[in-house]
């Protein structure tokens, strides 16, 4: 061992002992005739001191030392004259007797401090240096700790961790697969798993009762800021359970994490049916750290000769507390905001409840003062509040209101990142209509069990069928989701049919699963959490990138080693493939 102690370990009780430390030079300062070095390792920082009594052999070397050099020192633990209360080792320093340079370092391309001066691209290229920075390092250590807490909790609950294959069968349903040419099977390809969904269901059929896996998953999607081509999922499945069992057990897991990591004791998570979430928050992942719920105003506001309202399927609004003093300019900005193509509203109607008790609205010529007063009452508005109203097709308008609600909350700074408000969104629709392909699409996935009472609707009105599906949402972020699964072959076959599979294509893609259902499949259900997202939430980060050791950029490239790259003709030939670039 190159050291007797780490750089985070020594305290005053070791005063006078001779110790050996090894680490990186964080900082070197000269002060009078003395030199101070902050020596850093994963565990902390210890101050080294060199003075006139330091042996000549050491002092000589001292001059050559620069930032990020790796050194080993032997010295005695002294009490510091000016103590540093900010670090645990701040009461001591090491009076250095021997010094060995283990490795030198070029000047790093950016400063390795809490806040670096390096741009994103540079830090990604030198990721191994960026990872030396305390906040980035701590993110990965937090991830390691959370993974371990999760495993301990689940194993305590009789879950077995079972590894499923990464080289599996390509199933075109869902997102794009990454594929892997098989050299031993010319012209054929494996796919990397988008999730271990089918394997975990097979493990339930195999009788494993409680399975989990912290599993790498892959999706070949066009990348956005917060997506990675590979990501990690806490993947779980249980047999002989009902929805209530799943919600309870995994609510326990999330509470356990908050207690252990943040010392927060969370209340029981509310449960909100999907349609209520849409009605009240205009989102299936509502942020409930604040209220500002949506009120439907369709009946109340129609029939007063305001044509746009009269022709709308739905009218709804939110009340922004204390925003009654918004200027015309601010209101115009909000109008522009909702009219952006990503949101797509036609316009924004407002009702100001002035501080003096009067009302001002963009549509007040259509409504009496009495009307306006009632209108405000419906929202529970007080003097000084601002009511914002949108109209149009119901589902679209609700989502627009949901987006506006978040925008206002952000302006009003209602979202405190130290407050956590989880909830379960339940009773999702089984299907959503795929306009483009003119067919029903599974909202969760084709293995989700519909609610028993909605089964007859499968034939008559699929859009109305509710699924036994649930999402865990925290502060407006979906961190997990799952469902009860279909476990009878007839129902699964019917589901594929509604989803537009021919008998043959269902058989080709999922035949082995359908076959497995014939041999005593138990009732089962599961859930999966995005580990990257969960950790980034606990780390207080907006992006998942900084909780991943070696992330890819938005083009799917590893900036450090420049993957992907071209491969040799020999490799291509062995794999029986050719590169086939599009002609310009």
8 Å CB contact between 394 and 400: no
Among 126, 281, 306, 428, binds a second copy (CB under 8 A): 126
In the list 58, 122, 179, 514, the residue contacting a second copy (rule: CB under 8 A) is: 179
Which CB, 198 or 297, lies closer to a second copy?
Answer: 198
Of 283 and 448, CB closest to a second copy: 448
Q: Does 574 bind a second copy (CB under 8 A)?
A: yes
Token code pair at residue 435: 């306009």
Burial of 61 (0-12, 13-18, 19+ CB in 10 A): middle
Q: What are the angstrom distances between the C-alpha of 63 and each of 57, 60, 101, 230, 374?
A: 11, 6, 12, 46, 79
Is 160 or 419 the residue whose CB approaches a second copy more closely?
A: 160
Q: Residue count at the site for a second copy (CB under 8 A)?
A: 125
In whole angstroms, how close is the CB of 549 to a second copy at the nearest point? 5
Q: Does 88 bind a second copy (CB under 8 A)?
A: no
Residue 225 touching a second copy (CB under 8 A)? no
Site of tokens 């907006």: 542
502 lies in the site for a second copy, by CB under 8 A = no
Among 199, 269, 431, 470, interactor with a second copy by CB under 8 A: 199
Among 64-72, 262-270, 347-355, 432-440, the segment contacting a second copy (CB under 8 A): 64-72
Residues numbered 240 to 299 that lie near a second copy (CB under 8 A) are 240-242, 245
Taking alpha carbons only, the member of 455, 454, 451, 433 closest to residue 442 is 433
Using CB under 8 A, which of 170, 362, 415, 543 touches a second copy?
Answer: 170
The nearer residue to a second copy, 169 or 271, going by C-beta atoms, is 169
* Distances from the Cα of 213 to the Cα of 161, 184, 244, 402, 572, angstroms: 5, 29, 22, 34, 34
Binders of a second copy among residues 15 to 44 (CB under 8 A) are 22, 24, 40-43
Residue 64 found at the interface with a second copy (CB under 8 A): no
Q: Does 364 bind a second copy (CB under 8 A)?
A: no
Of 445, 447, 444, which is closest to residue 205 (Cα–Cα)? Answer: 447
Q: Does 583 bind a second copy (CB under 8 A)?
A: no
Contact present, 31 and 46 (Cβ < 8 Å) = no
| Nearest partner of 393 among 293, 316, 300, judged by Cα | 316
Q: Which is nearer to a second copy, 103 or 115 (CB)?
A: 103
Residue 470 binding a second copy, by CB under 8 A: no
- The 3-state secondary structure of 385-432 reads CEEEEEEECHHHHHHHHHHHHHHHHHHCCCCCCCCCCEEEEECCECEE
Selected from 115, 267, 418, 580, the binder of a second copy by CB under 8 A is 580
In this chain, which of 131, 343, 457, 491 binds a second copy, going by CB under 8 A? 131
Closest distance of CB 6 from a second copy, Å: 8
In the chain, what is the greatest distance between 2 CA atoms, to the nearest angstrom? 95
Considering only residues 509 through 568, tell me which ones interact with a second copy, judged by CB under 8 A: 512, 516-523, 548-550, 552, 555-558, 560-568
Beta strands, E only, 427-501: 431-434, 439-442, 469-474, 477-484
Contact 238, 246 (CB under 8 A): yes
Assess whether the previous peptide bond of 564 is cis (omega < 30° from 0): yes
User: Nearest distance from residue 544's CB to a second copy, in Å?
Assistant: 12
Q: Is residue 180 part of the contact set for a second copy (CB under 8 A)?
A: yes
Interaction of residue 216 with a second copy, rule CB under 8 A? yes
* Residue 115 phi, psi (nearest 5): -110, 120
Query: According to CB under 8 A, which one of 90, 108, 174, 500 is a site residue for a second copy?
Result: 108
Residue 132 has which token pair? 């030396």
Side-chain half-sphere CA neighbours of 406 within 13 A: 16
Binding of a second copy by 128 (CB under 8 A): yes
């Amino acid at each position: 061992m190159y050291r007797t102690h780490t750089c985070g370990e020594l305290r005053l009780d070791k005063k006078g002992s001779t110790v050996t430390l090894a680490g990186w030079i964080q900082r070197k300062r000269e002060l009078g005739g003395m030199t101070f070095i902050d020596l850093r390792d994963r565990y902390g920082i210890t101050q080294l001191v060199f003075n006139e009594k330091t042996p000549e052999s050491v002092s000589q070397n001292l001059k050559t030392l620069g930032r990020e050099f790796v050194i080993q020192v032997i010295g005695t633990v002294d009490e510091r004259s000016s103590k540093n209360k900010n670090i645990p080792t701040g009461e001591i320093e090491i009076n250095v007797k021997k010094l060995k340079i283990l490795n030198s370092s070029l000047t790093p391309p950016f400063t390795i401090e809490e806040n670096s001066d390096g741009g994103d691209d540079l830090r990604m290229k030198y990721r191994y240096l960026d990872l030396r920075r305390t906040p980035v390092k701590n993110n990965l250590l937090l991830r390691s700790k959370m993974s371990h807490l999760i495993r301990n909790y689940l194993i305590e609950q009789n879950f077995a961790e079972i590894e499923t294959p990464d080289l599996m069968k390509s199933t075109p349903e869902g997102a794009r697969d990454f594929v892997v040419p098989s050299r031993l099977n010319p012209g054929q390809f494996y796919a990397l798993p988008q999730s271990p969904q089918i394997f975990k269901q097979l493990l339930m059929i195999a009788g494993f009762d409680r399975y989990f896996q912290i599993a790498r998953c892959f999706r070949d999607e066009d990348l956005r800021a917060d997506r990675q081509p590979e990501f990690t999922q806490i993947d779980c499945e249980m047999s002989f359970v009902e929805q209530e069992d799943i919600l309870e057990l995994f609510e326990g897991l999330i509470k356990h994490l908050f207690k252990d990591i943040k010392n927060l004791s969370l209340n029981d998570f509310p449960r909100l049916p999907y349609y209520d979430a849409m009605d009240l928050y205009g989102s299936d992942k509502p942020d409930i750290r604040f209220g500002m719920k949506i009120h439907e105003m369709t009946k109340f506001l129609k029939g007063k000769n305001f044509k746009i309202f009269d022709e709308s399927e739905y009218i709804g609004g939110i009340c922004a507390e204390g925003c009654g003093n918004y200027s015309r300019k601010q209101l115009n900005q909000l109008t522009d905001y909702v009219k952006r193509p990503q949101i797509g509203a036609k316009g924004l109607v407002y009702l100001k409840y002035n501080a003096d008790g009067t009302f001002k609205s963009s549509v007040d010529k259509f409504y009496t003062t009495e009307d306006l007063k009632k209108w405000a009452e419906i929202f529970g508005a007080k003097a000084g509040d601002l009511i914002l109203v949108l109209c149009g097709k119901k589902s679209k308008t609700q989502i627009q209101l949901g987006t506006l609600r978040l925008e206002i909350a952000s302006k009003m700074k209602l979202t405190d990142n130290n407050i956590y408000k989880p909830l379960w969104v339940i009773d999702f629709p089984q299907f959503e209509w795929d306009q483009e392909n003119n067919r029903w699409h599974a909202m969760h996935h084709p293995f989700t069990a519909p609610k028993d009472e909605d089964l007859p609707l499968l034939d008559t009105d699929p859009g109305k069928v509710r699924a036994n599906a649930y999402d865990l949402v925290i502060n407006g972020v979906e961190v997990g989701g799952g469902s009860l699964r279909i476990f009878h072959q007839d129902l699964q076959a019917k589901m594929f049919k509604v989803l537009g599979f021919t008998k043959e294509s269902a058989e080709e893609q999922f035949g082995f699963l359908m076959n497995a259902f014939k041999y005593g499949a138990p009732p089962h259900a599961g859930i999966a959490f995005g580990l990257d997202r969960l950790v980034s939430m606990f780390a207080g980060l907006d992006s998942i990138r900084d909780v991943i050791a070696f992330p890819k950029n938005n083009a799917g490239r590893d900036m450090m080693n420049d993957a992907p790259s071209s491969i040799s003709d020999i490799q291509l030939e062995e794999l029986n493939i050719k590169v086939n670039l599009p002609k310009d």
